[in-house]
Amino acid sequence: MSSSQKFGALAAGSALALVLAGCSAAEEAEAPAPTESAATDERADWPETLVFGAVPSEESSSLVESYEKIIEVLEQELGIEVEFVQATDYAGVIEGQVSGRVHLAQYGPFSYVLADIRGAELEVAGVMTDGPDIEPGYQAYGIALASNGDVNAIEDFAGKTVCFVDPASTSGFLYPSEGLLSAGIDPEADVTPVFAGGHDASVLAVKNGDCEAGFAFDAMVDKNLIESGDIEEGEIKTVWKSEVIAGSPLAMLGSLPDSLKAEIRRIIVEEANIDALVASGICASVDECGLTDEKIWGYVERDDSFYDGVRKVCEVTGSSKCE
């Protein structure tokens, strides 16, 4: 599942450059060098510990291990401790940021929008991507057992027991709800909904016959569970795909000091990726350095408007979960 913005401005004029060139040496001599006390003053209002929260995309007791490299580079660059908190559901991370207890959190796009709706003042530190030149985004899949001849399209979900992931999941609830509504199916009244709790759990419930159909993000079906041996290639069929969803954001509290937010954004975009981590020696090799439980390359810049499409789907579905 998975999941670029660049700020920049350049202004130059040759005539102005010539004028300034004659003054540069004197100005450099007069300009005081940054002092250690100035740097200390800038960090005076930084928290002693940065709390980082995330929700696993699949059943996992070791989510922290998949974030170890990101945590390590944050601690090295910021010079403060990073405490990782594994939430059991999306609501836990949202509440953690609404209350201000979680400073930095890995979201899905919908849970990020929900956090904003529920009062968290957030800024995007970076967006998950599989490569520096790959547009961050992924799809929701509607699935069924390949051997199930009764489910061959999303229209066939009517009257069935259908596995969703979590009420705050983008690819496991919001976009599937839009897909069902577009097919003339009420996602609450026309199916028997089951919230599996994880993308892997949703797929495995379909495999085991606990749900006749279900939803999960693309890589969980196409790659993750096949590589783990939990499903065989071709055992699960994809009968519906959503439009491309904006990649998952790493969000930080807007109330953090500006100097800290700037450093977090720089580190996440420039240092928290496979190429940079291998170059720095934090990762031994590219093959051993998949980041997060989604095994991403890293993060790219985007701003809040990147998630306006998710907000639009909220409006279209009229889901009570968007309130």
Q: How confident is the model over 67-124, as pLDDT tens digits?
A: 999 999 999 999 999 999 988 888 999 999 999 999 999 999 999 999 999 999 999 9
Tracing tokens 């100097």 back to the chain, one arrives at 259
Residue 141 neighbours by CB under 8 Å, 6+ apart: 171, 215, 216, 217, 218, 221, 238, 240, 241, 242
Give the number of other Cβ atoms within 10 Å of residue 321's Cβ.
Answer: 16
Comparing CA positions, the residue from 43, 31, 55, 194 lying closest to residue 112 is: 55
Give all domains of the chain, ordered by start, each with its CATH number.
Answer: 46-136+246-322 (3.40.190.10), 140-243 (3.40.190.10)
Band (42; pLDDT cuts 50, 70, 90) = confident
> pLDDT digit string (tens) for 263-284?
999 999 999 999 999 999 999 9
Arithmetic mean of pLDDT, 37-47? 75
- Overall size of the chain counted in residues: 323
CA distance 238 to 221: 8
This model's pTM is above 0.85: no
DSSP 71: H
Give the pair of three-digit tokens for residue 122: 């957030």
Residue 52 neighbours by CB under 8 Å, 6+ apart: 67, 71, 74, 82, 83, 84, 85, 102, 103, 104, 105, 106
> pLDDT digit string (tens) for 166-201?
999 999 999 999 999 999 999 999 999 999 999 999
Comparing CA positions, the residue from 166, 162, 136, 140 lying closest to residue 151 is: 162
Query: How many angstroms separate the Cα of 309 from the Cα of each of 3, 53, 170, 264?
Result: 15, 24, 11, 26
pLDDT exceeds cutoff 90 at 255: yes
